[in-house]
Amino acid sequence: MVVRALHQVGLRSTHLQVLSLGSVLLCLGLWVRAKTVDEEQRGNAERRALFTGLWPPTLWSIGASLHELERSRDARSTAPRR
């Protein structure tokens, strides 16, 4: 249901997969930045990087679900009609 709604809004599997890869880069950037802040703020910066690191698998899974929906719709549209 949610995947169909995302598809109707215009999101495609490629969009979510690119977002997933982008969030990996964001996580790495936040982690590197956490190493440059002082000791007092380092814990918070590392937690922010870890939280961002949870996004990629979620976004990739949603993208995979959208991909399956796209494949099933393509298969139905190209199937011969009787």
What's the pLDDT tens digit per position in 9-29?
Answer: 999 999 999 999 999 999 999
- Compute CA distances 52 → 7, 8, 31, 75, 80, whole Å: 24, 27, 10, 36, 45
pTM of the model: 0.80
Q: What is the pLDDT of residues 35-63, one digit of tens each?
A: 998 888 999 999 999 999 999 999 999 99
